[in-house]
Amino acid sequence: MTENEKDIEMLRSDPKGLILKYQETIRIIVKKFISQGLYNPTEFEDIVQDVNAILLSKIQTMQTHYNGMSLFRTYLSVIVRNICLKESTKQKRKSLVVQEVPEEIEVRATVDETMMIGHEVRKLKAILSLYRERKSKILLCLKLCFRIPLSRDDVFSWCERCEEHDCVMLLRHFGSNFEEMKDNEIYRIVTPIFNKYEAKTNSPDAVRKWIDYKIHEIIDLLNGNSKKRNHTAETLKILIDDYFSPFLTPK
Amino acid sequence: MARSNSKALKRHLTEEEVALYAEALTRSVASDLPINILHHVDQCVKCKGTIIETFSLIDEGSFSTFDLPNQANGTRPSREHTFSIVYRAAAVILVGISLGSLVYVFESSQQDIHPPHIFEPQLKDATTQKEKIISPNASASDRSDIEHSFAYSPTLENLVNSVARSPMIKIISPKNGSNVDRSIKFIWQSTQKGPYTIKILSNREKTIYNATSLNSQWTFNEKLEPGLYYWKLENKEDLLFVGKFFVK
C-alpha cells in the first residue's frame, strides 16, 4: 500500500488522525505565509490552530471531493493555502517585516543560496509551462528584453517554419552581444518577423506592450501573495540567465 | 477532473484540479492534462497564480527550506538528506530491479487478470442482476426501463472480453462484473506511465464521467442510476483496460 493509499484509507476511517499526520506540512505552509508577511509571526501557533479547526470542519467536504487524482498531501496543501489566504483577508492582520520575527519561530535564512535560486528557477520554469504554445515566444522576447543573445534553437522553437534568411537576420542582430541596442530598435527589427509568421499587423509598440505585460504577469506569479514583493524585473533577469545557463539546467 | 470535452472550463479549477496541475508541473507532464483544464489555465491568471503557489509549496526545495519549531530533535534537516550521486545510482538500480520484478509478476499473472472464457459466467451474472432489481409488482414500462439499463453493449462487451492490450496492467478494484454502491474505488497497478484517464460509460456507450489521475487510483463518489456500466482506463498512448460493473 502506497503512502497515498494509506492517506485515502485514513480520510475515510480516521480523518482526524490524517490531519494530525500532516501537522508538519500545515506548519510549513503557515510559516511560508508568515515569511511572506501575510501574518504576524507571533500568531504562528494561533494560526496553526485556526487552520486545524477549519480543516476539521471540512472533513466531510474533503471526503466527498477528494478523488485521489492527485496526492492527498498536495490536495491538503491547496486547502491549507486557501484557508490561510481567506483568514488573512478576514482578520485583516497587518503584515510585519521579517526583522520583527522572534528568534524561536524565525524562518531561518541559512538555506544554501544555490538551492534557493534553484527553487526560483524551477518556479519560473513552471510558470512558463503554463503558457503552453506561447512559451517559446515569451522566452524569445524575454531574451530580447534582457539582452541575452539568441540561438538558432530559440528562433526555431518559436517558429519551426521560420525561413533560414529570417533566422540569419535575427541572429545577426541578436546572436551576440547587443546590450547597447535600444528597446525601440529591437522591436522595430523583430516586429515584422513576428507579423510575418503569425499573420498579424502589430506595431512595434504593441509588441513592446505585450511583452511588458507578460513580464509583469510573470513577476506577479513569482511573487505570489508575498507582501514583500521580492521579485522585480532585475531578479527576473537573473532567473532567466540561470534558466538558460548550461551550468544550472532547470529540472 | 474534467467532465466534458468542451475546449475550456467555464469555471475556475477545483482544489483537486489545482493539486493535479501542480503535481503535473513537478513531474513535467503538464501537457498530458485534459485539454479543457489546459485551455482554462492558459487564459486565467487567477488559476495560474493558485497553481504556481501550490507548485511552490510542494516543490521539494521549498519544503526543505523551512525549519520546524516543534521537531522532535529540535534540529532542522541537514544537508545530508540530499541524495549523493552514490545514493542516486543505488536508487536507480533498485527501481530497475523492482520494475523488472513487477513486469515478471504481471506477465505471469496475465491469465488471472483476463481469463479467456469469462463471457458465459458474466451473462449469468447479468441475469441475476435483473432478477434482483425487478420486483414482481413492477409495471411493464418499469421492467422495460430496467432491462434496458442492464442490457449489454456488444461493442464494449467485446472489449471487456478481449485479451488485455497491455500485460503491464492489473486491476485491483472494482472486480469485473461486480456490484457496486456509492463510492467506487478504481485501483490498478501498472508499469505504464501516467497520467491516466478513467472513463465511465453507460451501457449505451455514452461517456458519463471522464477523470484524470496521476496516481494508480481514483474514487468516484457520485450517484449512478441502477444499471450496467463500463469503464475504460487509458494513458496518453493506449487503452489499457476495459471493465464493467453493476449499480443496484
* Full 3-state SS string of chain A: CCHHHHHHHHHHHCHHHHHHHCHHHHHHHHHHHHHCCCCCHHHHHHHHHHHHHHHHHCHHHHHHHCCCCCCHHHHHHHHHHHHHHHHHHHHCCCCCCHHHCCHHHCCCCCCCHHHHHHHHHHHHHHHHHCCHHHHHHHHHHHHHHCCCCCCHHHHHHHCCCCCHHHHHHHHHHHCCCCCCCCHHHHHHHHHHHHHHHHCCCCCHHHHHHHHHHHHHHHHHHHHCCCCCCCCCHHHHHHHHHHHHCCCCCCC
Query: What cell does A63 get?
Result: 471526503
Report the amino acid identity of residue A80: V
pLDDT higher than threshold 90 for residue A106: no
What is the pLDDT at residue B108? 53
* Calpha distance A68→B185 (Å, rounded): 9
A193-203 confidence digits (pLDDT tens): 999 999 999 99
Residue A156's CB: how many other CB atoms inside 10 A? Answer: 13
The model's confidence at residue B156, banded by pLDDT at 50, 70 and 90, is confident
Length of chain A equals 251
Is B57's CB within 8 Å of A32's CB? yes
DSSP 8-state code for residue B2: -
H or E element, residue B207 = strand B207-213
From A97-111, A160-174, A178-192, B114-128, the region with the lowest mean pLDDT: B114-128
Report the amino acid identity of residue A222: L
- The nearest CA of chain A is from the CA of B147 a distance in Å of 31
B91-105 confidence digits (pLDDT tens): 666 766 666 666 665
- Whether the Cβ atoms of residue A77 and residue B19 lie closer than 8 Å to each other: yes
The contacts of residue B24 (CB under 8 Å, 6+ apart) are B30, B32, B33, B195, B214
Q: Is A217 exposed, middle or buried (0-12, 13-18, 19+ CB in 10 A)?
A: middle
Interface test with A, best of B35, B57, B196 (most A CBs within 10 A): B57
Compute the mean pLDDT over every residue in chain B, rounded to the nearest whole number. 71
Is A119's CB within 8 Å of B59's CB? yes
Interface test with B, best of A77, A98, A213, A248 (most B CBs within 10 A): A77
Is A69's CB within 8 Å of B69's CB? no
What is the residue whose three cell numbers read 475556475?
A: B12
A229 Rama class: left (phi>0) / alpha (psi -120 to 50) / beta: left
- What is the β-pairing status of strands B169-173 and B196-202? unpaired
What is the pLDDT at residue A29? 92
The model's confidence at residue B225, banded by pLDDT at 50, 70 and 90, is confident
Q: Whole-model pTM?
A: 0.62
pLDDT higher than threshold 50 for residue B77: no
The contacts of residue B109 (CB under 8 Å, 6+ apart) are B170
Angle between the A72-91 and B15-26 helix axes, to the nearest 10 degrees? 120
What sign has the CA pseudo-torsion A178, A184, A188, A190? positive
What is the pLDDT at residue B59? 80
First to last CA, chain A: 29
- Whether the Cβ atoms of residue A181 and residue A199 lie closer than 8 Å to each other: no
Residue B142's CB: how many other CB atoms inside 10 A? Answer: 13
* Calpha distance A80→A67 (Å, rounded): 18
Residue B52's CB: how many other CB atoms inside 10 A? Answer: 24
What sign has the CA pseudo-torsion A129, A133, A135, A136? positive
A208-224 confidence digits (pLDDT tens): 999 999 999 999 999 98
- The nearest CA of chain A is from the CA of B85 a distance in Å of 16
Interface test with B, best of A27, A88, A130, A221 (most B CBs within 10 A): A130
- The nearest CA of chain A is from the CA of B78 a distance in Å of 10
pLDDT higher than threshold 70 for residue B193: yes
What is the pLDDT at residue B201? 92
Residue A239's CB: how many other CB atoms inside 10 A? Answer: 23
* Calpha distance B203→B122 (Å, rounded): 15
Alpha carbon distances (Å) from B148 to B86, B229, B246: 61, 12, 13
- 3-state secondary structure at position B232: strand
The model's confidence at residue B64, banded by pLDDT at 50, 70 and 90, is very low
